[in-house]
Amino acid sequence: MAALLATHAAAGNLAPPRPAATSQSTLAARIDSILARPALRQAHWGVLVRDAATGRVLYARNAERHFIPASALKLVVSATAAHHLPADFRFRTTVHGTGAVRDGVLEGDLVLYGRGDPMISDRYFPSRAAVWEALADSLKARGIRRVAGAVVADESFFDADYLRGDWEAYDTRWWYGAPVSALGFNDNSIDFRILPGVTPGERPRITWEPQSSYVTLENTAATGAAGIASTLDFERWRGGGVRAYGVFPAGAAAKTEHFAVANAAEFAGTVFREVLERRGIEVANDAVRVVSDPARSPARGAAVLAEHQSPPLEKAIGPILMNSQNWFAEQLLKAVGRQVAGEGSWDAGLRVEREFLTGVVGIDSADVVLRDASGLSAGNLVTPRALVQLLDYVRRTPRQAVVRGALPVSGGKGSLQARFTDLPGRVRAKTGYIGNVDSLAGYLTRADGGEVTFAIIANASGQPSSRMKAGIDDVVRAVAAGGESRNIPQRRP
């Protein structure tokens, strides 16, 4: 038959049949070939790619199976908050007096009452302490010149469960694992700036912001020879202090490390007291008392003397998605729990998230296991199918525009600024990474203007994250290049 067709074609009587597309020319085959590379094939891959307009599946691999999502999970808390909280929602921080004000003296304690605001920092204001300075100035404008009692740091709006039990202990030293509390400040971290000593053997020069008596540093580190790798590190030390240890190379450029505080409310209260005194308000008792029990909150029934309102909700969601700020995500989760369920706790916040995912978005409850909001816990599990369903919901829901607008943009801003520079502006997605986990979930604009929704997760890779990210990026590029748009059968290698 083939010979007959060729003869007729040669005679001009019949055009030769167009050869069928080879398997290597299909989108599925291209993605399969990427994931079969030696550096990638040992990983457990979950992938779902869907045409955003039609819902047609373009590629699927293990899309219904559980994966550890890392920071791609931040899509959940962001969308949940956007659903439940008004766009103009603002966190409030108030200052209360427990006694009367007579002749410029507050005859009682001054209570700093937090409600979970993560934005009290120089990310939003001229300086780290600018909010405390504004509150102090408001008190001074009311004629207060002296506090006869002490500053009370009231964190009772949230529970006193500051860290998830399955977070890695080392992570809790740093800004990305900082304690979650109703009264927070400066990402609940101390910013240590490190410079080498002049000659090897000398102590490195370490300063910190904010300057406060809350911080005590034991510097046991040394300046090493030029060009060696830095081993300088920080740890919590006796008496609530911090110890610097290891070696920092001579001639090295200045480096800043953001070390998580041990007691966030005490940290905030101490800096606030010091600001009051710098602003001309004397505080009789230097010791800051922390209150965590709502039943013992001195703010109850006490007069409000000053108030700070945060920037609106979108300014909190921005760092969560754009820069993957873990602490913001956890603060927002507890705030949602308090606002919706009446309890500022992980249990309440995660319950609200689950109800939103299942009852509003329509995700199967078996598709998600939630332990935190940030994705720092390896106990979080989610299917690629659930992430794509959530992204589809975000895409079609006007109220979720704040979430879509906060996603990193390829070659533009956020955690995708240096990725997909060959696809500028065409990828808007949330990145994710913890040990042996890499993820990316979001939207891709094809060359023809059509949009694709996707989720790509690699678990148990045993490879450097840079290699896994390169593989994920190549999968996205394969989708951007086009290919079959028919339904692709599920792959379960």
- What is the bridge-based pairing of β-strands 247-249 and 222-224? parallel
31, two tokens: 């993605």
Buried b (16+ CB within 10 A) or exposed e, 67-98: bbbbbbbbbbbbbbbbbbbeeebbbebbbbbb
Residue found by looking up tokens 């390829």 in the block: 410
Q: Where are the alpha helices (DSSP H) in 161-283?
A: 264-278
Residue 92 CA to residue 198 CA, distance in Å, equals 46
Residue 29 CA to residue 488 CA, distance in Å, equals 10
CB 120 within 8 A of CB 189: no
Question: 376, 375, 373, 379: which is closest to 347 by C-alpha?
Answer: 373
411, two tokens: 């070659």
Q: Angle at which helices 74-84 and 313-322 pack, to 10 degrees?
A: 170
Residue found by looking up tokens 């006694």 in the block: 99
Q: Is 324 a catalytic residue?
A: yes
Residue 410 CA to residue 402 CA, distance in Å, equals 18
Residue 15 CA to residue 99 CA, distance in Å, equals 97
Q: Is 156 a catalytic residue?
A: no
Residue 267 contacts by C-beta under 8 Å, 6 or more apart in sequence?
185, 188, 212, 214, 261
Residue 317 CA to residue 324 CA, distance in Å, equals 10
Q: Angle at which helices 326-341 and 74-84 pack, to 10 degrees?
A: 40
Phi, psi (rounded to 5 degrees) for 366: -75, -10
CB 181 within 8 A of CB 265: yes
Residue 96 CA to residue 114 CA, distance in Å, equals 11
Peptide bond into 118 cis (omega under 30): no
Catalytic residue among 121, 181, 212, 324: 324
Residue 440 CA to residue 91 CA, distance in Å, equals 30
Length of the chain: 493
Hey, what's the torsion of the CAs at 100, 103, 107, 112, to 10 degrees?
80
The DSSP element (H or E) to which 359 belongs, if any, is none
CA 61 to chain centre: 27
Catalytic residue among 71, 121, 189, 439: 71
Q: Which amino acid is at 446?
A: R
CB 35 within 8 A of CB 41: yes
Q: List the catalytic residues.
A: 71, 74, 324
